[in-house]
Structure 1
Amino acid sequence: MTGLFISFEGVDGVGKTTQVERLRAYLESRGRIVVTTREPGGTALGRAIRRLLLHGVDDGPADIAPRAEALLFAADRAQHVAETIRPALERGEVVITDRYLDSSLAYQAGGRELTSDEIRNLSMWGTNGLLPARTYLLDMDPAMSHSRLTHAEDRMESAGDEFQRRTREAFLALAAAEPERFRVIDASRSIDEVWESIRSDMDGLLSGDAGERAAVDVDRAEGSRESAGESA
């Protein structure tokens, strides 16, 4: 059985965790073995990096330089793919990750004003070109999603309204550039309505109607981006 790689993206508070769990349960009910994971923090090394990224360094400056931040995210992703994602795909399992490359592109290139090519190339090198077969972008006005948060703000969540707005716009631009991989879901609807959109698309993906590959390699992904740019 072929493995399947799925990612969930969106600004904080859009309900990714809830939908990841619903999809996990649904796929398991259909007989698939499912690995759920997240970025940053999907491995032991990743959890150490996550603490640095979200909470900063103890007794140190609150800010992490943008290039250092990009390298930390890429290091987390490289270990995540090598230790968790690729082995599971090779075993024929389904991998569902809460955040992947697109979060780096949206939060760092969109929100932190680094170039998309720098961020993308760094992660593509670190992961040997692995992209998900499907990415569900749960989209919502950041002002609304932020009000849903029930925990203390971390370093990324407290970056301000303008940062969150740019990040959302960056996510939507990524989805527009790769329509074959992305599905944009209106996350302002009820949990059940959001889930129904995901379930319907997943049924098509599993049956082969919405795509047959387990993951996208970098050459095909780049070709998709170039085609989208030509047709814009």
Structure 2
Amino acid sequence: MQVTLKNPGKFIVIEGLEGAGKSSAIALVRDFISQLTGREPVCTREPGGTPLAEKIRTLVKTTDASDPLCDEAECLLMYAARAQLVANVIKPALARGEWVLGDRHNLSSLAYQGGGRGLMPLVQTISAATLGDFKPQLTLYLDIPPALGMARAASRGELDRIEQQELDFFERARATYLSLAAADNTIVVIDASQPLPQVHRDIVSVLRQHLERS
């Protein structure tokens, strides 16, 4: 594919519920960017991506029956990790003209903590305070019915604390994802319930269309 890059340094994010196929999508997009630019993108994950943020990830993902993580604390920890990652990894990489490929970003908190936990006012307030108007140029949301996604996730092995939530939690998160995507033309919905080759074809098609408009 021949594309003239007018603005090097883009931030692309892959989003989706558990079992949506984010890992294979990220590998596909990473290879696509590498072939296009001749350089590997900076790959991040949330929560995580810096030494401190990885410690926060462990706190968020691990169940402690003696001190259960309350919903508000979960939300605050997510944004603490995100603030570290944006300040110390993502923004510096973009400033250098590098591409950044994210495994989740702010949309996850809007969907999971905002929609799933019912904390949208808190999420919006913290998001505005920590991120301002910073956002990805493109987000690919891999949409999948929660029952199918959780069946796939369970087949991979033991589930972490968030993956163990009730199905209703993921239904609320999915509804929030779709509502936000409908209102934002930088978020593209990909039907992740399709066979994997078709999902990947759809992703590549979206990437090409996005670059042609850039």
Q: Give the direction of change, closer, same or farther, for the CA distance of 1:191–1:198 in structure 2 (3 Å limit).
A: same
Q: Quick check: 1:78–1:123 contact (8 Å CA) kept in 2? A: no
Number of corresponding residues: 205
Q: Give the drift of 1:29.
A: 1.0
Counterparts of 1:168 and 1:153 in 2: how far apart (Å)? 19
What is the one-letter code of the residue matched to 1:105?
L
State the partner residue of 1:90: 95
State the partner residue of 2:117: 112
Matched, 1:29 2:35: yes
What is the one-letter code of the residue matched to 1:151?
G
Q: Quick check: 1:36–1:95 contact (8 Å CA) kept in 2? A: yes
What is the one-letter code of the residue matched to 1:193?
Q
Q: Quick check: 1:14–1:187 contact (8 Å CA) kept in 2? A: yes
Could you say what secondary structure the match of 2:31 adopts? Answer: helix
Counterparts of 2:207 and 2:98 in 1: how far apart (Å)? 15
* Matches for 1:1-232 after TM superposition, within 5 Å: 2-33=8-39, 34-57=41-64, 60-61=66-67, 63-114=68-119, 116-149=120-153, 150-178=156-184, 180-207=185-212, 209=213, 212=214
Q: State the identity as a percent.
A: 39
Note the aligned Cα RMSD (angstroms).
1.4
Counterparts of 1:6 and 1:96 in 2: how far apart (Å)? 5
Q: Quick check: 1:101–1:120 contact (8 Å CA) kept in 2? A: no
Indicate the larger mover: 28-37 or 142-151.
28-37
TM (normalized to structure 2)? 0.91
Counterparts of 1:43 and 1:151 in 2: how far apart (Å)? 26
Could you say what secondary structure the match of 1:64 adopts? Answer: coil
Q: Quick check: 1:32–1:94 contact (8 Å CA) kept in 2? A: no
Q: Give the drift of 1:151.
A: 2.2
Q: Give structure 1 stretches of 5+ with no counterpart.
A: 213-232
Q: Give structure 2 stretches of 5+ with no counterpart.
A: 1-6
Counterparts of 2:201 and 2:134 in 1: how far apart (Å)? 27
Counterparts of 2:37 and 2:138 in 1: how far apart (Å)? 19
Could you say what secondary structure the match of 1:131 adopts? Answer: coil
Q: Give the drift of 1:32.
A: 4.4
Q: Quick check: 1:7–1:99 contact (8 Å CA) kept in 2? A: yes
Q: Give the drift of 1:138.
A: 0.3
TM (normalized to structure 1)? 0.84
TM-superposition CA deviations, 1:24-52 (whole Å, max 9, x none): 01111122431111101111111100111
Q: Give the drift of 1:170.
A: 1.1
What is the one-letter code of the residue matched to 2:179?
A
Q: Quick check: 1:39–1:99 contact (8 Å CA) kept in 2? A: yes
